[in-house]
Amino acid sequence: MNATTDSIRILLCDDHRIVREGLKQILADTPDIEVAAECASGPEVMHKARVEAIDLVLLDIAIPQQDGLDVLRQIKQEMPRLPVLMLSTYPEKQYAARCYKLGAAGYLNKSADTEQLVAAIRKAAGGGVYVSPQMAETLASELSARSSSHERSPHESLSHREYQVFQLIAAGRSVKEIADQLELSPNTVSTYRGRILEKTGASNDVGIAMYAVRHQLMPV
């Protein structure tokens, strides 16, 4: 690692070892960026963020044991000055706005090129917020639409957990499968499902899936 004394020290979290190794290899040729620590699950992120001397967290959304957005929320509560750059396979349209609202310093799709990744890390570590050109255009369009209509889409009123359940229902998962994946009780999932039906105006799970398709919110 060609790290310098002024390098940006990163905590890298992704549950796929091959992804972590790939990112480390990409960043190894960038003198001012150093992968100082790595982990593969939500609880590990919190532990290492507390004990390691790091300048930024590079965090995947889909990590085991604790959802990446929950980890983001917890980091911003405990360490509000620590920048968190989200990295995901999910399209920006699905999750980026939620990440920014929770305090993320940026959102990158894993298909981003090396220059974009390095630029995002430097921007976030410097105290700024990285927004890709594509996301900037999307956010501008949404703000323009809201200012003219003064209304939000129904799914924007879903809480983070409701949105998770919404996505899994749209993907065809059963209440039990959702409960197992999110480590919730089936009754709790059913409660969230009821709120989703009420907020989106859907009458059943098929209606939820159709709503997701119509608004381009289908999980990938």
| Amino acid letter, residue 220 | V
Q: What is the pLDDT of residue 151?
A: 60
> Are the beta carbons of 56 and 82 closer than 8 angstroms?
yes
Q: What is the pLDDT of residue 1?
A: 41
Q: Print burial letters for 23-49: b (CB count within 10 Å at least 16), e (below 16).
A: beeebeebeebbbbbbbbebebbbebb
Q: Please tell me whether residue 13 adopts helix, strand or coil conformation.
A: strand
Start-end of CATH 1.10.10.10 domains in the chain: 154-214
Question: What would the CATH number be for the domain defined by 154-214?
Answer: 1.10.10.10
Q: What is the pLDDT of residue 143?
A: 57
Q: Please tell me whether residue 171 adopts helix, strand or coil conformation.
A: coil
Mean per-residue pLDDT pooled into runs of 10, the chain (220 residues): 69 93 92 95 93 96 85 94 91 79 90 92 94 73 54 78 89 91 90 93 89 77
- pTM for the model stands at 0.70
Run of H or E including 115:
helix 114-125
In CATH, 8-137 is 3.40.50.2300 = yes
Dihedral over Cα of 161, 121, 218, 216: its sign:
positive
Q: What is the pLDDT of residue 4?
A: 47
Please report the DSSP string for 20-50 in residue order: HHHHHHHHTT-TTEEEEEEESSHHHHHHHHH
